[in-house]
Each structure stands twice: as C-alpha cells, then as structure tokens.
Amino acid sequence: MKEKIKEIITVNQSRDFGHLIKRDIAVSLFSNKILSVVGPRRAGKTHILYLLIQQAYAQGIKKEQIILINFEDERLISDDFSFDLILQAYQELFPQFSLHECFFFFDEIQNFLYWEKFVRRLYDDHTKNIVVTGSNASFLSTDIATSLRGRALAIEVLPLSFQEFLSFKGIEPNSYSATGKALAINAFREYLTQGGFPELVKMDMPLKKKVLQEYFNVMIYRDLVERFQISQTLLLKYFIKKIFLSVGKPLSINKIYNDFRSNKYSVGKNTLYDFLGYVKDAYVITTIDKFDFSEMKRENTEKKAYATDWGLLSAVEYSSSEDFGKLFENLVVLEFKKLQHKIYFFKQLKECDLVVEIVSSTLIPVQVMYKSKKGDTLNRELAGLKEASDFLKADHGIIITMDQEEELRYKNLSIKMIPAYKFFSLKRQQQENFLSSKLPVSD
C-alpha cells in the first residue's frame, strides 16, 4: 500500500493543470487554517483545489512540497490503508523536506472513516497547510464544527454563477454593446436550460442532458444510498422527483406522504423526513425559510425547496423542459445564494417569491416573473410585492424578469423590473446599489 501511495504522490506532483479559469470565490491558501471546500459533486471543488496548488507554485512552493490525494482513487480501497502511510510514504520519498513545509490537498476525504481525527493531528503536530474537499453538507456544518472547531475555514462551492458561466464561455459580463448584449442573452437562455455545472459549458448540446442524468444517478447512489445505507432506492428517487415538482411552492412532507400512500407505496412519515435531511446533506436540494422577524419562528415554519442546480430539474423531471417558470425561479434563488445573500420567501394573505437581505441588513421584497404579465395576473404579483413591502417597511420592490425592463408604481410603491441576465451580470456593488435604491419621487 505504501508503494501505491508513493506512486499517487509523485504522479500528482507532475500533473499539468493547464489553464484554469478563476472562480468568483475569495480564498487564500496561506490562512493558517484548514480550508474545507464543500459543495455538490461536479460543482468545481477540485478546480478550486487546483487553483490553490497553482497559488502555492506562484508563491515559490516546490512541487515536491505538494501532497495531492484523491480519496476516490480505488487504489486506496484496502484493509492495509491507514492515513499514517501517507506521511510515511512522503517522508521516504522526500526526506529533505519536513512536514511543516508541506502542503496537503485531500480531495473527497469524507469517503474514509476517521479522516477528521487524522487531519486534526496533522494540523496540530505538523503543518497548517491543509485543504480538504467534501460533497456533503455535514462535512461543512457537523464534521468540521465538532472535530476541527477553530481550526477550519469553510468555503462553499456551488455550480457556476451566471457571471462565472459567461467567463467560462469567454464572454465579457458587463459589455453593453449590441453584440455583447445579444451574447449575454443567448448565454442566459443556455444557462437556464442546462444549469451551472462547469463541465457542461463547452459540451455539445446532445450530451448535456445525459451528463446531468448521470450526475443525478451518482448523487443517488454514491452520496445517498451508500452514505446513508438506504435500501429503498426507488422510494428515494420518487421522493426527490416529488420535491422537484414542488419547486416554487411550500414543501409539504405530509402531502408527499399521502401521495405515496395513494400510489400504494409503504413508507413511514419519519422515513420521508429522514430522506429530506439526506437530500439536503448531499446537496441535491437547498431550502429557504418563510420570512419572520423572529429567527426561532423562521427555523420552525414552512420551507420551500429548490434543486441545488436547476439543470437537474430539466434532466430528471421535465422531459421537454416545458416548465421554464420553475427553472427560472430556481435559477434566481440559487443566484442569490451564490452571492451569499440571506433569502426567504414571504407568505401571509398574499405571497412574494423572495425577501433578500443585502449587506446593510436591509430587507428587499423580490418577485420572480418569467413571462410578461398583464391585468389580474400582474396585479396579483404587484399585490404580493406590496404586502411584503408593507410588512418589511420597505419603500420599494424588485421584479426580476426574463426580458422585461421598466419602472412603475403600484399604490405608492416604487417598483423596478430588470431582466435576470442583466442583473446577474452586474458587479456585486452595482447589484447592491440596484437593490437598495428606489425610484426618484415624480413631480
């Protein structure tokens, strides 16, 4: 086993990473903290890891000081494996370097038991230069918090934001020329249908749906069935599809339970609650709370669920991707999450799709409107925006659309409509300014 580990170390040290496109994620290798990079499969965690290795090279670190181990390498699956063999193998290869001088990069390390005890010992006894990646949310919230408290800095990596998507396609995000605008609009339509998994950006269209379906299957079998020892695989798949169907609506486990029963599936309600925790943990879905000023009430109230990448919706649930409204709302929610805004939904007598908390702790009501609406349909959206703004004491509201841009007033409420492709290609400060500023008072 030690010889296999030596081979893995030396081969990875000679790896040519080629040209890597930077992600919009602020991270420094030299933080004296264990960097824990977490997110869904194929979202780009390994890409971030490679960027950090290039960052080390740029600071004069020699390739012999880099130890990169991918724990999905089947050569490590053996009764003979122990974490200490990694240290022994390295020191036999490069006795001229102390472990204190080394940089350890452990990809998908959660696949091996007691990894956190090893990483903690490595950090305490040898080196502060450690990066680990993992594909489940417990890796971020539970494992790190309990075992590596105070030693780790968590970095969440989600699929590409629209700005990153444009960069990966070589399109300037803030080009306002006619050509630049046309490129951005076409790119956004592609982004809406395929999602933000980096591998898909330059892939031929016929392959994209098949690849997304494969991602979904890997999440099911590797991150759920194997990790949580689930025997009811068909029920799990059916449960996830039911959640995907509920995108944009309050999530009801009781309703899903009744659907199971009406279709003659035998499953307990507690099992479905377990499933919900599992699929969140594996980054298949993310949830947002119903807004309340009380944090305790928010935690215990209704929730809405969204796919962590809406490309999974179009690949798994919508055979012809006909429900673009759901895809669009899912996209907008995830874009705000990638911007690290706190987001909620509003529901009292009427509904508002989102409440967005911006940096200044200001709460902004936001409606998401895929198609242009008129008459009663538009009035319903505006009424929900108005009720939310009154409750939040906000003096303006935002409507994010597919292609409509205008300014209007509704019962003294200042409202700005902006196309999603335009808003999400703005720089962060421009977005903050747009969200926080209302229309000037008319004469």
Q: What is the pLDDT of residue 30?
A: 86
Q: What is the pLDDT of residue 358?
A: 86
Helical pair 269-281 and 233-245, crossing angle rounded to 10 deg: 70
Counting DSSP H helices and E strands in the chain, the numbers are 19, 13
Residue 286 in contact with residue 308, Cβ under 8 Å?
yes
User: What is the DSSP-derived secondary structure letter of residue 160?
Assistant: P
Q: Which two tokens stand for residue 160?
A: 């590409």
Q: Measure the CA–CA gap between 354 and 330, rounded to whole angstroms.
A: 11
Q: What is the pLDDT of residue 441?
A: 46
Q: What DSSP letter does each residue of 45-74 carry, written as one string?
A: HHHHHHHHHHHHHHTT--GGGEEEEETT-G
What is the distance between the terminal CA atoms of the chain, rounded to a whole angstrom? Answer: 79
pTM, 2 dp: 0.90
Residue 38 in contact with residue 137, Cβ under 8 Å?
yes
CB atoms near residue 235 (< 10 Å): 17
The burial of 373, by beta-carbon neighbours within 10 Å (0-12 exposed, 13-18 middle, 19 or more buried), is given as middle
Q: What is the pLDDT of residue 146?
A: 66
Phi, psi torsion values for 120, nearest 5 degrees: -65, -45
Strand order in the sheet with 363-369: 303-307, 285-290, 342-347, 351-357, 363-369, 396-401, 413-419, 406-410
Give pLDDT tens digits along the chain (443 positions). Answer: 999 999 999 999 999 888 888 898 888 888 889 998 989 989 999 999 999 999 999 999 999 999 999 999 999 988 889 999 999 999 999 999 999 999 999 998 888 888 889 999 999 999 999 999 987 766 555 556 567 777 888 888 999 999 999 999 988 877 667 777 888 899 999 999 999 999 999 898 789 989 999 999 999 998 899 888 999 999 999 999 999 999 989 999 999 999 999 988 889 999 999 999 999 989 999 999 999 998 888 888 899 999 999 999 888 865 444 588 999 999 999 999 998 889 999 999 999 999 999 876 789 999 999 987 777 788 899 999 999 999 999 999 999 999 899 999 999 899 999 999 999 999 888 888 899 886 654 43
